Structure 1
Amino acid sequence: MALALTLPAIALPALTASAASAASTQRAATYTNPVSSGFADTFADPTVIRGQDGYWYAYGTSDPLRSGEGTPHRVPVGRSSDLTTWTFAGDALGAANSRPPFAAADASYWAPDVRYLDGRYVMYYTVTDTTTAPGGSAIGVSTAPTPSGPWTAEPQPVIAPRPGGGGGYLWTFDPAEFTDSDGTRYLYYGSYYGGVYVTRLSADGLHAVGAATMVAIDNKYEGTYVVHRDGYYYLFASSANCCAGPTTGYSVSVGRATSPTGPFVDANGVALTASRVGGTPVVTQNGNRWVGTGHNGLVTDLSGQDYLVYHAIDRNSPYLDQPYGINRRPMLLDRLDWIDGWPTVRAGAGASDTPQPAPVTAGDETFATRPGWLPSSWQVTDGYATGTGVAYRDQRVEGDVRVEADLRPTAGAAAGVVVGSATAWLDRAAGLLVVDAGAGRRAAVALPAGLDYGTWHNVAVEVRHGQLTAALTEARQSGPIVSVTLTLPPNVTEGRLGIAGRGRADVDNVSAAKLYRPVTRTVAAPRTGHLVYADEFTGSAPGPGWSWVRRDNAVTVAGGQLNWPVENADLTGTANSAGVLLRDAPAGDYTVETKVTLDLGENTVRNYQQAGLVAYANDDDFVRLCQVAIWNTRQIEYGHEMPYAGQLSYGGVTLGTPATTTWLRLVHTTDPKTGEHRFRAASSADGRHWTWSGVWTFPADVTPRIGLVAHGGAQPAVTAQFDYVRIYQP
């Protein structure tokens, strides 16, 4: 269904006239997805980092960038000054000598993750095939002095191919690095076949150390990304099929933990390693042009606002060239809100396809030339400032503000960011991150023992409602290494913005912006309205109005339930052997709900027994919302089959966590512009708290009916018990 959100205006603090003009332009700017369209028709599995040169860099999976190009780029790179307009910056692994020696000649390179570690850029990536284990994927790593290269591959994989228990190799895909507050580095990797794991890395980030720990169960998640925030580690992960063209249901969910090794649990307390697997939705398709909204990274603008970078598929143009070829997955960018401790895209509104307020990226000082505000004690060399004492920028800050800079103190020195009469110091001599506001107002936190002060670190100072927080990160990634907070009296942080050095300090990329205003409420969930129909199955047969497609004579109505032994049949593909119990849907908007008990057990393979709701145009055009056994997991899948380009396309979104008894809803609305039928899915384990998920659509010229299904396999025998079917309207 259509969702909208009115966003708060973004403004910068009090500035000089020239800076105010730039800020006004920034405030007025908008962008429209996909942001990669300037250089790429497809740019899958994106990750973004801000380089030391002040530009943002994006890295994607190896594919041709444009329709008709044919030849894949080996980890294509985009560059941007504003996060929304990108240009092509070459292929990271384009040169033959830049590729790892253990990669097979025809290997591809997927899902790069790029970090700034100890003064160099480190790129982890999937190598799809290796010479040492043909058919086995691995995680490779390369390093470079700049975000655009040149990249030098390490001779051995970080994670070598892993034999699977049933033969072949586990899917060693989708790496993501994370550095914890004590300086320990971790690598997350894995996919559906084998699960997602985390392992410690060596101090240089180039080698795995010790045993790995599973953090997400197999057959559910891949494409992880970890962020540390407010005492929790958040594991973002993607589920379902990445690449099913117009029926791709890829989407992002999250779990959180108090340790980087888990256990990660969702908002309902369900673990991502459970057979009835957990996960709280972050972004999924909402009925607009985008489907398959998955595989994310995270980037923060100069106001402190987080954005999710991810790919999606335009359901109207799902393939790069011919149908059922390479999926066309451009890069999208959308605001990421943190509400009640959980991340969600646009407060739950999902992927955008209309103009959005642009990220705040203007007005920072990159020292490309020497600015006039630097005193003689400061010099500019190689694109950064070096000096001692305080240098005040021609800019004042007041109110809620975010000020940041990249700092590099020399031996025995400290480098600082000045906000009014407060200074945040990266104090190398004392081994502390210090906030000093004068008059005895001071707070400090110890820095990790192994911190490399000879490389750049970002210090961001945020002031909100009189509370100042300074956070230290590596290149603004993955949350703070350490942070310190100090409550201040009024007006302490109002005044001039500056940089400071006690002893010689290096400073770069200085910025100030009005601190972002957090969104604190999610968009409203659909309301059920008034009950207009109910079949409580109190008789000996379904009530009036029901009809069958392929009647199943084993179905009975008794004890206030419709009892349906799960059929050894299916609706997908061309077999169309499963029974469907249907009734006409009411005109206009409505919600159809059922309560179904289906005991599928746990941790055993019962493919693909399922039961639930269906919206049905015909055997080759339907949506199906069921709790289902998928190998060793139990999931709720919201699948869609439709004809496309002379074939049948099928894919599904996974949502929520099934219980033995699960409540399911489909909410129908009509697009006022196109007349399309939109069906949004929801599930609940108690009938009160609902998890809302994706939207599938039908063309305006069809009239879907609604009903029930129970199929997917007869062994071991199990019966689905439906307590009721209820229909509500506004």
Structure 2
Amino acid sequence: MTSHRSALATVAATTLVLGLAGTAPSVAQTRTADGPDPTATYTNPVSADFADTFADPAVIRGKDGWWYAYGTTDPLREGEGTRHLLPISRSDDLVDWEYVGDAFTEATIPAWADTANRAALWAPDIRYVDGEYRLYYVVTETGTNPERNDNAIGVATAPTPTGPWTDSGDAVVDPRRVAADNYLWTFDPHHVMTEDGTQYLFFGSYYGGLWVTELDETGTEAVGPATQVAIDNKFEGSYVVQHDGWWYLFASTANCCAGPTTGYSVHVGRSQDVRGPYVDRDGVPLDQSRAGGTPTLYQNGNAFIGAGHNAVVTDLAGQDWIVYHALDRADPYLDDPFGINERPMLIDRLDWVDGWPSVNAGAGPSEGPQVAPVTSGRAVTTFDDDARAFRGDGDWDDEVDPQSGRFQESDDDDGNLLVTRAAAPADVRVEADLRQDDDEDGVYGLVAASRWQVDGPKHRQGTGTAIQALVDPDAGTLTVRTVARGTVTGEASAELPAGHTGTWHNLALEVRAGAAHAELTEARLGDPLAHVVLDLPESTRLNGQAGVYAADEGVDVDNLSVVGLAEPVTAVEPAPTPGTLVPGLSDEFDAAAPSAGWEVVRDPDVTVSGGELRWQVETADLVGTGNTAGILLRDAPDGDWTVETKVSIDLGLNEIRNFQQGGLVAYVDDDLFLRLSHVAIWNTRQTEFGKEMPFADGLSYGGTIIGPPGEVTTYLRLVHRTDASGEHELQAFTRAEGSSTWVEGGVWTLPADSDLRIGLISHGRNPAEGGAPATSRFDWFRVYQD
């Protein structure tokens, strides 16, 4: 580490004595210190400059001030043909990315990976813990035994985000054997740390479900029994963040990789305990047969489909963003059809409305220019660049080390202050990476609305005024307090984890709407070590400078920013509602037979009695080339419309009854259709919105998952709109009986020249996979002109 005197230290200390004589400039007379560019935009996919595919992205802000993204093993470009073992990219603004290498090469791949069987490394998760970077990943084949498919979770550490990466030498989570060459899918690791310092790892996929296990203090070995948090055969790709006291589990559903019919999406549940149980917005658990999960990220009819396997990052204004992969439906494969799916990286705003996340206020994945994340501003510095927006009091030295680059270190044992020259916004986010020498224990942290001299926090009889978020290593606390004319007027604290060290960590202070929030994390990834909220006294002044305070020498500061706090989105886009009922296209099934206007395809065995249409699930299907299933069809109206049905089908629980289902169909022909149904998928019961279409001299089928079905009865809705090109867009909604909430899901499209009809289906039984045929009972079929 090198050192030389900082230019900040040459600023006369008297320029900071703002509170002593009451001569602080008013906000009206000074520049604000936020300065982000409101005109900055980006366009998805953000990985286009360096990769055609970059699946399963994980993102972190490194201690050097750059954002880094890590992807799953694949070639990066069409026609390249050479795989990259966990490729790495970096960006200084979250939207313009460059490739900077791979975590491993074929020569450095972990020694316990079975290279003879072409082991790959999938689904990275990046963390920073106790002064080192950790990269967790799937090893698809291990060399620990001669069997195949024995996947496991590994971890490597490095001093920098680009490496060099050193594998731990063994699995963090071992292969989980079912039978010979048959192992549960130990995929998709995700690491979090709770406020008591305990480390956990989420993992799992469709075959086996999602689990969480405690890790040892090194983060390299699972300890104790794992806890299942979500059922098998529905979820993969765990990502967990804490928000307003809840742990939110983001999990991907459906097939990640079905080319032009990929319906991958992200559902969310939450819990007040990191180990669960997790429930969706309607209180439905994620670990039961009729599994819950609130759709959060799903396709909306634009170019992108199959949006999923996400991470979450926060910009400098405190706005969350969801990072994920998706497919361009016009270019779904990297090279040959039905080969590697081309899944570039995208980013979109993540809003929190009424306690639940929403992407772009419910609009979903973006196409075209969008307002960019806030990653720069007048008062944003990594100290490798311009830091003139800040001025220092006390003594600050320039320092350099390989991990963080250039930073500032306090060098005065009588107080050090580094704040904006201009007044900060009243609604502000202040943050910095901070580190303290092992032999020091002085208080340090952040200040906002500051009008005090460096002796303010140490000498309460001074005349200083500020909102402070202070780490006290000796007391083991994070404290938020307000000080007015040297007197503490409000204070709240939280304990730090036992054994908390002074290695690099991030402290953020947000002030808005009468409250101050402080959060201490290892690397700003949504798993705080301590979180404090203080309701501000009514007399609290909100204008003043903002920055960093250190009581003593030996406190390092990097990546300091003072930015106007992001304005939260408080409402999502309203869902469409049905228009006027069209009786001539509807049927209440209140006669002895279906009403006039139905077209019967392949003579389904239906009866009408007791005010419902009854139809035993057929041992037949529409998917594939067989096309043996019966259908009831009728004309769709012109323009915008909605079709609904109420279907009761008793599929029981947990029993394997693949793939019995009943529901709605939007039909062009036997090889081009959409269906929305309550369906048995292995041990689960789900509502699936599926699509089959011709593709590359064959057929492609995939589905996207909507809300949980009812015990027996579920309401199904398809909403039809026509886009500017004339293309048909159909969006799925479901509602379980007993719930008043329609769950909004994904959109499938059909060509503009399609002769579209709508109707009912009841099919999918496979006798070889067991289960007596259920009966679909339809109470009504209603069509609305919107």
- Using structure 1 for the length normalisation, give the TM-score: 0.95
Question: Once the two structures are superposed, what CA deviation does each residue of 1:563-586 show, in whole Å capped at 9, x if it has no partner?
Answer: 101100000000001001100111
Using the TM superposition, give the Cα deviation of residue 19 of structure 1 relative to its aligned residue in structure 2, in angstroms: 6.6
| Structure 2 match to 1:498 | 547
Question: Once the two structures are superposed, what CA deviation does each residue of 1:143-194 show, in whole Å capped at 9, x if it has no partner?
Answer: 0001111100011110111012686100010000010111110000000011
Secondary structure of the residue aligned to 1:39 is: coil
User: Given residue 546 of structure 2, which amino acid in structure 1 is its aligned partner?
Assistant: L
| Structure 1 match to 2:624 | 573
Give the gaps of 5 or more residues in structure 2: 1-26, 401-405, 451-465
Question: Once the two structures are superposed, what CA deviation does each residue of 1:295-340 show, in whole Å capped at 9, x if it has no partner?
Answer: 0000000000000000000001111112111100000100001111
Moved more, 268-277 or 481-490: 481-490
The aligned length equals 713
Q: Distance in 2 between matches of 1:463 and 1:431?
A: 23
Moved more, 435-444 or 401-410: 435-444
| Structure 2 match to 1:278 | 292
Aligned: 1:264 with 2:315: no
Using the TM superposition, give the Cα deviation of residue 487 of structure 1 relative to its aligned residue in structure 2, in angstroms: 2.3
> Is this contact kept in 1: 2:480–2:493, CA < 8 A?
no
| Structure 2 match to 1:484 | 532
Using the TM superposition, give the Cα deviation of residue 51 of structure 1 relative to its aligned residue in structure 2, in angstroms: 0.1
Q: Distance in 2 between matches of 1:300 and 1:103?
A: 37
The correspondence for 2:558, drawn from 508, 513, 522, is 508
| Structure 1 match to 2:574 | 524
> Is this contact kept in 1: 2:33–2:423, CA < 8 A?
no
Give the gaps of 5 or more residues in structure 1: 1-12
The correspondence for 1:385, drawn from 379, 390, 408, is 408
User: Given residue 503 of structure 1, which amino acid in structure 2 is its aligned partner?
Assistant: D
Secondary structure of the residue aligned to 2:506 is: strand
Q: Distance in 2 between matches of 1:561 and 1:166?
A: 49
| Structure 2 match to 1:607 | 658
Using the TM superposition, give the Cα deviation of residue 447 of structure 1 relative to its aligned residue in structure 2, in angstroms: 3.1
* Shift in alpha-carbon separation, 1:690–1:444, aligned structure 2, 3 A: same
> Is this contact kept in 1: 2:134–2:158, CA < 8 A?
yes
1:407-418 superposed matches below 5 A: 407-410=434-437, 411-418=440-447
Aligned: 1:690 with 2:761: no
Moved more, 587-596 or 129-138: 129-138
Using the TM superposition, give the Cα deviation of residue 717 of structure 1 relative to its aligned residue in structure 2, in angstroms: 2.5
Q: Distance in 1 between matches of 2:310 and 2:113?
A: 27
> Is this contact kept in 2: 1:457–1:472, CA < 8 A?
yes
Q: Distance in 2 between matches of 1:15 and 1:625?
A: 61
Aligned: 1:366 with 2:382: yes
* Shift in alpha-carbon separation, 1:371–1:621, aligned structure 2, 3 A: closer
CA RMSD, 1 decimal: 1.7
Q: Distance in 2 between matches of 1:95 and 1:476?
A: 32
| Structure 2 match to 1:701 | 753
The correspondence for 2:89, drawn from 61, 78, 89, is 78
Q: Distance in 1 between matches of 2:67 and 2:490?
A: 34
The correspondence for 1:560, drawn from 600, 611, 629, is 611
User: Given residue 359 of structure 1, which amino acid in structure 2 is its aligned partner?
Assistant: P
| Structure 2 match to 1:6 | none
> Is this contact kept in 2: 1:117–1:204, CA < 8 A?
no
Q: Distance in 2 between matches of 1:298 and 1:100?
A: 31
Q: Distance in 1 between matches of 2:481 and 2:590?
A: 72
Question: Once the two structures are superposed, what CA deviation does each residue of 1:411-449 show, in whole Å capped at 9, x if it has no partner?
Answer: 222222121222211111221112232122242424334
* Shift in alpha-carbon separation, 1:681–1:369, aligned structure 2, 3 A: closer
> Is this contact kept in 2: 1:613–1:625, CA < 8 A?
yes
The correspondence for 1:404, drawn from 431, 435, 441, is 431
Q: Distance in 1 between matches of 2:492 and 2:115?
A: 51
* Shift in alpha-carbon separation, 1:169–1:512, aligned structure 2, 3 A: same
Q: Distance in 2 between matches of 1:649 and 1:98?
A: 35
| Structure 1 match to 2:3 | none
| Structure 1 match to 2:403 | none
Q: Distance in 2 between matches of 1:100 and 1:143?
A: 15
| Structure 1 match to 2:51 | 40
Give me the identity figure in percent: 54
1:208-607 superposed matches below 5 A: 208-363=222-377, 364-368=380-384, 371=387, 373-375=391-393, 377-382=395-400, 383-387=406-410, 388=412, 389-410=416-437, 411-419=440-448, 420=450, 421-438=466-483, 439-488=487-536, 489-490=538-539, 492-504=541-553, 505-533=555-583, 534-552=586-604, 554-607=605-658
Q: Distance in 1 between matches of 2:557 and 2:29?
A: 21
Question: Once the two structures are superposed, what CA deviation does each residue of 1:637-677 show, in whole Å capped at 9, x if it has no partner?
Answer: 10000001111000000110111001101111111x21001
Greater gyration radius: 2
Q: Distance in 1 between matches of 2:709 and 2:346?
A: 30
User: Given residue 741 of structure 2, which amino acid in structure 1 is its aligned partner?
Assistant: H
Secondary structure of the residue aligned to 1:38 is: coil
User: Given residue 352 of structure 1, which amino acid in structure 2 is its aligned partner?
Assistant: S
Using the TM superposition, give the Cα deviation of residue 207 of structure 1 relative to its aligned residue in structure 2, in angstroms: 0.9
Q: Distance in 1 between matches of 2:473 and 2:704?
A: 49
> Is this contact kept in 2: 1:443–1:485, CA < 8 A?
no
> Is this contact kept in 2: 1:14–1:395, CA < 8 A?
no
Secondary structure of the residue aligned to 2:705 is: strand
Using the TM superposition, give the Cα deviation of residue 497 of structure 1 relative to its aligned residue in structure 2, in angstroms: 1.8
Moved more, 226-235 or 49-58: 226-235
Question: Once the two structures are superposed, what CA deviation does each residue of 1:193-224 show, in whole Å capped at 9, x if it has no partner?
Answer: 11111000011211111000100100000000
> Is this contact kept in 2: 1:409–1:426, CA < 8 A?
no
> Is this contact kept in 1: 2:246–2:272, CA < 8 A?
yes
| Structure 1 match to 2:462 | none
Q: Distance in 1 between matches of 2:141 and 2:129?
A: 27
Question: Once the two structures are superposed, what CA deviation does each residue of 1:384-423 show, in whole Å capped at 9, x if it has no partner?
Answer: 1111421233232132111111111332222221212222
User: Given residue 432 of structure 1, which amino acid in structure 2 is its aligned partner?
Assistant: T
User: Given residue 520 of structure 1, which amino acid in structure 2 is its aligned partner?
Assistant: T
User: Given residue 381 of structure 2, which amino acid in structure 1 is its aligned partner?
Assistant: E
Q: Distance in 2 between matches of 1:446 and 1:522?
A: 33
Moved more, 392-401 or 136-145: 392-401
Using the TM superposition, give the Cα deviation of residue 17 of structure 1 relative to its aligned residue in structure 2, in angstroms: 6.6
| Structure 2 match to 1:631 | 682
Q: Distance in 1 between matches of 2:669 and 2:299?
A: 23
> Is this contact kept in 1: 2:216–2:222, CA < 8 A?
yes
Secondary structure of the residue aligned to 1:422 is: strand
Q: Distance in 2 between matches of 1:334 and 1:599?
A: 39
| Structure 2 match to 1:126 | 138
Secondary structure of the residue aligned to 1:75 is: strand
Q: Distance in 1 between matches of 2:180 and 2:705?
A: 26
User: Given residue 625 of structure 2, which amino acid in structure 1 is its aligned partner?
Assistant: T
Aligned: 1:88 with 2:144: no
* Shift in alpha-carbon separation, 1:720–1:437, aligned structure 2, 3 A: same
Q: Distance in 2 between matches of 1:370 and 1:442?
A: 35
Question: Once the two structures are superposed, what CA deviation does each residue of 1:28-67 show, in whole Å capped at 9, x if it has no partner?
Answer: 1010100111101100000110000000000000111111
Using the TM superposition, give the Cα deviation of residue 353 of structure 1 relative to its aligned residue in structure 2, in angstroms: 0.5
Question: Once the two structures are superposed, what CA deviation does each residue of 1:256-296 show, in whole Å capped at 9, x if it has no partner?
Answer: 11111101000111111010011001110000011000000
Secondary structure of the residue aligned to 1:246 is: helix
Moved more, 449-458 or 701-710: 449-458
Q: Distance in 2 between matches of 1:300 and 1:657?
A: 30
Q: Distance in 1 between matches of 2:28 and 2:217?
A: 43
Q: Distance in 2 between matches of 1:572 and 1:638?
A: 13
Secondary structure of the residue aligned to 1:396 is: coil
Using the TM superposition, give the Cα deviation of residue 374 of structure 1 relative to its aligned residue in structure 2, in angstroms: 3.5
Q: Distance in 1 between matches of 2:386 and 2:686?
A: 58
> Is this contact kept in 2: 1:158–1:208, CA < 8 A?
yes
> Is this contact kept in 2: 1:16–1:394, CA < 8 A?
no
> Is this contact kept in 1: 2:242–2:527, CA < 8 A?
yes
Question: Once the two structures are superposed, what CA deviation does each residue of 1:120-144 show, in whole Å capped at 9, x if it has no partner?
Answer: 0001001111111432100010000
Secondary structure of the residue aligned to 2:361 is: helix
User: Given residue 431 of structure 2, which amino acid in structure 1 is its aligned partner?
Assistant: E
Q: Distance in 2 between matches of 1:561 and 1:140?
A: 55
> Is this contact kept in 1: 2:618–2:773, CA < 8 A?
no
Q: Distance in 1 between matches of 2:750 and 2:109?
A: 47
Q: Distance in 2 between matches of 1:15 and 1:400?
A: 18
> Is this contact kept in 2: 1:114–1:124, CA < 8 A?
yes
> Is this contact kept in 1: 2:193–2:527, CA < 8 A?
no
Aligned: 1:712 with 2:770: no
